[in-house]
């Protein structure tokens, strides 16, 4: 079953790059008591993700904050080292929390996984965005296969 607006996010633990190396971070740490703009990509360093999706959120950080968003988080079924390198390559710094869902546990729990095997990518996340308030999904935008419209930063900003 796919998560929908009004549902509470499942408990999950991601990996993120900390000053002393990889560290776990839970959904409670990320979402409890906060409004978070969450977006997911099929893969770090992939064309649309690197040219449009992540850069769009980076470009609009101040606008998200002005609209009451406490944090912006990017999740991908990649390992923490790839997510750290991609964040560094994109220059996101502390503005966007780069979350590695290495085994795809969070993605599967949301019902938003996709099979990228025909591209040699295995299990990945569908492309989506969500406004999450205190752990509850208030808005969910899932892209149709191969598209990049409703999960963009611009689209999400218009929803806030």
Provide the pLDDT for residue 150.
95
Provide the pLDDT for residue 76.
97
Provide the pLDDT for residue 117.
84
Is the pTM here over 0.85, yes or no?
A: yes
Superfamily of domain 13-159: Glutaredoxin (3.40.30.10)
Provide the pLDDT for residue 32.
97
Q: Strands of the chain (E only): list them.
A: 13-18, 21-26, 35-41, 71-76, 97-100, 113-115, 123-125, 128-133, 136-142
CA pseudo-torsion sign 136, 79, 58, 113: negative
Tokens standing for 146? 């191969």
Task: Give the C-alpha separation, 153 to 95, whole Å.
Answer: 14
Task: Determine whether 22 is exposed, middle or buried from the number of CB atoms within 10 Å of its CB (0-12, 13-18, 19+).
Answer: middle
Provide the pLDDT for residue 41.
96
Task: Determine whether 121 is exposed, middle or buried from the number of CB atoms within 10 Å of its CB (0-12, 13-18, 19+).
Answer: middle
Provide the pLDDT for residue 123.
87
Task: Give the C-alpha separation, 14 to 106, whole Å.
Answer: 8
pLDDT beneath 50: ranges in the chain: none
Q: What residues are annotated to the active site?
A: 49
Task: Give the C-alpha separation, 98 to 30, whole Å.
Answer: 11
């Amino acid at each position: 079953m796919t998560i929908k607006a009004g549902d509470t996010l499942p408990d999950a633990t991601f990996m993120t790059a900390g000053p002393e190396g990889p560290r776990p971070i839970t959904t409670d740490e990320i979402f409890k008591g906060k409004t978070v703009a969450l977006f997911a990509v099929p893969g770090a360093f992939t064309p649309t993700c690197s040219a449009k999706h992540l850069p769009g959120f980076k470009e609009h950080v101040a606008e998200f904050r002005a609209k009451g968003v406490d944090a912006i988080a990017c999740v991908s079924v990649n390992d923490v080292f790839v997510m750290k390198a991609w964040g560094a390559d994109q220059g996101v710094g502390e503005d966007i929390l780069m979350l590695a869902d290495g085994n795809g546990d969070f993605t599967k729990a949301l019902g938003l996984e996709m099979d990228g095997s025909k591209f040699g990518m295995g299990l990945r996340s569908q492309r989506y965005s969500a406004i999450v308030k205190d752990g509850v999904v208030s808005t969910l935008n899932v892209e149709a296969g191969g598209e990049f419209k409703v999960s963009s930063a611009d689209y999400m900003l218009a929803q806030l």
